[in-house]
Chain A
């Protein structure tokens, strides 16, 4: 697969028809692209061509030894291919007969029955008689872990599982053991997978074309299940999941290959996280505090009560915290409620300090609190990745897959700066393990090396650059090395690799400079002075010209699935939706025109319709804590998002919440928040609602309702509207799609992002063309000729343009070098 090279076209004849296809494509891919199905078993998109099952055999006409494996052989100009000649058919029959010698054929008790490649192909090729038949050899199930079973006699040794584990997951926890007929899949020394590097991602099960690796939590026939395509709610990579359910319960999550930003792959949370959604501890009823106790009440009663009490707190006595796990639509409505109904800008996200610090760092350096580039550029442009922070394999797993993938296929280089010891560290060119709290110093020392080596290509030459260079005085590489105990050679090597796009030696850059290096970081997941480290990384990107071009930039993973979207929607004390400052009169006027007419004419219980939106920034989370302590904020609405994978809530916030007169908490699970709440509203989780999420690289994707929420639980967008209505504000969106429509109208950065287009696949903002396919977005979907693969290839050949470039959405003046020590809090707008 010649990813990234320009597409030269060749002409081939397939089954008598001429087609023009890109050079370097395999015959199988070419056939798929033009819509000709070729049976395959060991082929798996994104994995290296393997060529082991031989069922994809096609015949090259007019050539001796013309039977070739189409999944590995490449098209050549003028090739004449037959995919269904008698020789092909005979070969396939033989292949199937061979598999069936020992294959258990226990279809009635096999999880895979109905979606098994071997079953399908046996049926299509009508293999019944088998001259090689003999008594079958059988073995017991092997329990590879509490999640994964292996059954030898169903296994066709296609190595899809071992390849995915090695090439994509990057952990190589399983391998083919032994040789010949006796070969089997297993772990080193037969260890339990839980005791190996296995991440329990389940991708080995996912790629197994037969029922050899099975999901121990699953016991249904596929045809009993309905499927809903949606997006994972457990981190901001934003993986597309295929949620399969029946009778109101999720039974398993499967994979839509080549769809979504994840091309179907997921991590352990995506695969088995549905167990959180249908956890027995989920909140199913509304509750009202009676003394020390929370007492279940009907939802309507609770909503009435909320409205009744909130009436007393209009203005800055009220504050709201939005959940970064809620959808864009929900967060939009919550900030709308806060601003247009409660009349205050006291809105922020329920985020950890570190998440806030990372957002602030991005905002300070780039003018917007967003990742500058798309993860997808790892497939096309990035030549080197600097990966910083706690194990990205744990925090943004599927993004880490692409790091391994591009190492294998594009020979990208990797520099890891992490205290965690995880497999990428050992594959990386350099792994720096900084003592706690020294990330910023190490990164600044790298900047010094880059300056000293003359490799600096600063993106902006403003005064901030000179000041910043001067501030680096304290980061002599030698000094940092001796203070941290990191060998200076490692710091140098890391700096050179990053600055030269992975070449590692200065040399002369090409016309377009060195190849691009990207920064991935998970600093939001660690404690300490995250701001300084995050800013240091941003500076490094600006210093080396790795900003504003494809394949470069900074991509920050902040944790919750919609951390980015929550900010985009204006859940920020200083920003209206789309990062327009609350002080921007024009923006306010626009929103007032849209929002204020919803007030009903009649004043209910003395709750006054608002005449104007508040114009001064409200309290941020930190300031809210102070304001509560000072008795200025008395009532709050907190959208909680507790589940197993959520970060803990800060104790300072929790103790402040205890001092409120009135606290409404919207929650999915009992949590420290509900313990302090006066009223608890049961909320729906991501598989239980419609809407959109915006992931870490600004890609907006569709969530779809797969199962109903338990009991009285309702999606936040419904709850907020109910409360607003009870306060005399007519919010009557019948579906989140209508909310997004309003967002699109009122928010320039979300122009062009509407449900009908999202149906076709993810869109990354800013979207350029407002009609037709969006540039720079990942466009996938079976409706496009050739299926997803062709589009993926087109992206690979044509190049993506999703890098946030200076001329759209970002003005050069807003990009600056930031000196962390002097950085003031930047919650005030700039």
Chain B
């Protein structure tokens, strides 16, 4: 592939890609797509793919077998999308190897396995299959970042370009000044998706204002928080979207240096993003003098070693520089002194992925989505006993109740909703009566929760609040980078007190000690980890005070989870 020399060359290339794309869907052959991402691989998608390959050959069916990315419906993995000549594509869920022969045979007979179908990519019902967009999981979603998830092949830059990819970058490069790009991002009021919700436009502007050279733009794809898996899916399913956002970021900062720091655990995300970078270099969308302009851009991928703290901005930068990943005190902020003491703009993967649509459609358009203070869409993931697990993209402002009970389908048979833990490991839970809160940055915070990176854990009556609080605290305790005293030593102290309570040795005074210790940890910790580490515990204590009471005063675990009884028995035996 030759490097594209200028804008016309790109236009020609894009037109060809688009034509190929249309021919693919218009021909009289079958197009069969299998979603391959880490979630579906875990459920056997690769085997499904091989089975299909074999059977189609055996049956002599002229078919194009494609690999696409994850579409967010983890509950339906592995999925297979089939387009028979003359029919709209139909998506089938849970197509494990044992279903493959049935499926192929049915299709060969010209039948539609409607009982396995999630939906058809059509506006009208087709052969008893509802339009996909009306599937309850998708009906309430608003997909910008995930628009092409499960549609395009993540390893094909052509697919991405055929669907309009890199148009935003071209628009920025040829029609906008860097200042105008920043102005649009500011106008969109896009707030950082990594947790804190700091307006990206303002960060970019400070980065532009700081006089020092060189500058760096960094994507934070570390995603080390438990129960969150949006960034890795995004990278797995549409890596070019993130890359395009990063390119626009580099253009806005007028720097040729970009990084993506990806959690080392996310092997497929790393692989696909690296492949995307390779393809972009090959096509001349990365490198020197991109499309004949004076703008050059070089992107490097760095991977993490498994420490949660390396997702924190300054720790991440030390990690990139080859040092121990530990946060540093601020100021100076990273936009003043980041990588190699130079201005560095760091944003979350999802933040960058939102940028192309902002550049294409304008900041005002983006700001019209979502709520006034929390604009746009948000990727959310849910864990727990709900019916439809997966990644959803919703407009900000949908209520938590709608999110859990409509999008994610509510509780599974036999489970009763007890609460939902918000903000990963950084905030408290919501109870049933608080579920009408809109899912956005500020409303959740008001209730002691947090939008965070959009990872929620729904839990039921079988979960003990004390035990769950201990789990969340322990995560922070073990992931404390060990730099500062209050977090390194305070969190273990709180976990130990919780263990005392779980084992039936809690004392009424313990709750006060926890509150006192938590206050100091929050006030004195150096970085965001310690500053919020006790929040889940305080939240649980606030939401479920009666359970803590039962453990301490009645030596009883209402959910029957804690080792309280055994411990008490042992203690009694000792007497």
Do chains A and B interact in one complex?
Answer: yes
Binding site for B on A (CB under 8 A): 49-55, 57, 65, 67, 69, 72-74, 90-91, 94-95, 98-99, 101-102, 131-132, 134, 156-157, 159, 175-176, 178-183, 411
Say whether B480 contacts A99, CB under 8 Å: no
Chain B positions 486-509 with a Cβ under 8 Å from a chain A Cβ: 486, 488-493, 496-497, 509
- A-B CB contacts (within 8 Å), total count: 97
Residue B191 CB within 8 A of the other chain: no
Say whether B478 contacts A101, CB under 8 Å: no
Say whether B486 contacts A132, CB under 8 Å: no
Contact partner, A67, options B341, B479, B513, B523, Cβ 8 Å: B523
Q: How far is the CA of A157 from the CA of B526 in the complex (A)?
A: 14
Q: How far is the CA of A90 from the CA of B517 in the complex (A)?
A: 11
- Identify 7 new A-B residue pairs, CB closer than 8 A, beyond the known A94-B520, A131-B516: A50-B329, A52-B485, A74-B331, A157-B483, A179-B481, A180-B479, A180-B481
Q: How far is the CA of A269 from the CA of B510 in the complex (A)?
A: 53
**Most chain B CB within a 10 A radius of its CB, from A72, A132, A156, A183:** A132
Q: How far is the CA of A95 from the CA of B497 in the complex (A)?
A: 18
Chain B, residue nearest A65 (CB): B523
Contacts of B489 in A (CB 8 A): 98-99, 101-102, 181
Contacts of B341 in A (CB 8 A): 411
Q: How far is the CA of A54 from the CA of B509 in the complex (A)?
A: 26
Residue B19 CB within 8 A of the other chain: no
Given contacts A51-B328, A69-B329, contact A181 B488 (CB under 8 A): yes
Contacts of A74 in B (CB 8 A): 331
Say whether B524 contacts A57, CB under 8 Å: yes
Binding site for A on B (CB under 8 A): 307, 309, 324, 326, 328-329, 331, 341, 477-486, 488-493, 496-497, 509, 513, 516-517, 520, 523-526
Contact partner, B324, options A57, A175, A182, Cβ 8 Å: A175
Chain A, residue nearest B330 (CB): A72
**Most chain A CB within a 10 A radius of its CB, from B489, B491, B520:** B489
Contacts of B523 in A (CB 8 A): 65, 67, 91
Interface of chain A: mostly helix, strand, loop or mixed: loop
Chain A, residue nearest B522 (CB): A65
Say whether A69 contacts B493, CB under 8 Å: no
Say whether B493 contacts A176, CB under 8 Å: no
Say whether A156 contacts B485, CB under 8 Å: yes
Chain A, residue nearest B480 (CB): A180
Q: How far is the CA of A90 from the CA of B523 in the complex (A)?
A: 11
Contact partner, A95, options B477, B524, B526, Cβ 8 Å: B524
Contacts of A102 in B (CB 8 A): 489
Say whether B324 contacts A54, CB under 8 Å: no
Contacts of A72 in B (CB 8 A): 329
Say whether B524 contacts A67, CB under 8 Å: yes
Chain A, residue nearest B523 (CB): A67
Say whether B485 contacts A53, CB under 8 Å: yes
Q: How far is the CA of A183 from the CA of B490 in the complex (A)?
A: 14
Q: How far is the CA of A233 from the CA of B120 in the complex (A)?
A: 87
Contacts of A67 in B (CB 8 A): 523-524
Chain B, residue nearest A49 (CB): B329
Chain B, residue nearest A51 (CB): B329
Q: How far is the CA of A99 from the CA of B486 in the complex (A)?
A: 9
Say whether B492 contacts A181, CB under 8 Å: yes
Q: How far is the CA of A175 from the CA of B318 in the complex (A)?
A: 14
Contact partner, A157, options B479, B488, B490, B493, Cβ 8 Å: B488
Say whether B526 contacts A69, CB under 8 Å: yes
Say whether B488 contacts A183, CB under 8 Å: yes
A sample of 23 inter-chain contacts (CB < 8 A) reads A51-B329, A51-B526, A53-B485, A54-B484, A54-B524, A69-B526, A73-B329, A74-B331, A91-B523, A95-B486, A98-B486, A99-B489, A101-B492, A132-B513, A159-B483, A176-B482, A178-B482, A179-B307, A179-B309, A179-B480, A179-B481, A179-B482, A180-B480
Say whether A94 contacts B480, CB under 8 Å: no
Contacts of B478 in A (CB 8 A): 179-180
Say whether B484 contacts A53, CB under 8 Å: yes
Contacts of A181 in B (CB 8 A): 477, 480, 482, 488-489, 492
Q: How far is the CA of A91 from the CA of B480 in the complex (A)?
A: 19
Contacts of B481 in A (CB 8 A): 179-180
In the complex, how many angstroms separate the beta carbon of A333 from the nearest chain B beta carbon? 52
Say whether A180 contacts B517, CB under 8 Å: no
Q: How far is the CA of A411 from the CA of B520 in the complex (A)?
A: 37
Q: How far is the CA of A72 from the CA of B337 in the complex (A)?
A: 14
In the complex, how many angstroms separate the beta carbon of A208 from the nearest chain B beta carbon? 16
Say whether B526 contacts A180, CB under 8 Å: no
In the complex, how many angstroms separate the beta carbon of B484 from the nearest chain A beta carbon? 5
Contacts of B525 in A (CB 8 A): 54
Q: How far is the CA of A98 from the CA of B496 in the complex (A)?
A: 13
Q: How far is the CA of A101 from the CA of B489 in the complex (A)?
A: 8
Say whether A54 contacts B493, CB under 8 Å: no
In the complex, how many angstroms separate the beta carbon of B99 from the nearest chain A beta carbon? 44
**Most chain A CB within a 10 A radius of its CB, from B479, B493, B497:** B493
Contacts of B484 in A (CB 8 A): 51-54
Contact partner, B486, options A49, A94, A134, Cβ 8 Å: A94
In the complex, how many angstroms separate the beta carbon of A278 from the nearest chain B beta carbon? 40
In the complex, how many angstroms separate the beta carbon of A538 from the nearest chain B beta carbon? 34
Contacts of B309 in A (CB 8 A): 179
Say whether B486 contacts A183, CB under 8 Å: no
Contacts of B509 in A (CB 8 A): 131
Given contacts A51-B328, A91-B524, A94-B524, contact A183 B482 (CB under 8 A): yes
**Most chain B CB within a 10 A radius of its CB, from A90, A95, A134, A180:** A180
Q: How far is the CA of A159 from the CA of B488 in the complex (A)?
A: 13
Contacts of B307 in A (CB 8 A): 179
Q: How far is the CA of A592 from the CA of B129 in the complex (A)?
A: 118
Say whether B496 contacts A134, CB under 8 Å: yes
Say whether A180 contacts B488, CB under 8 Å: yes
Contacts of A134 in B (CB 8 A): 496
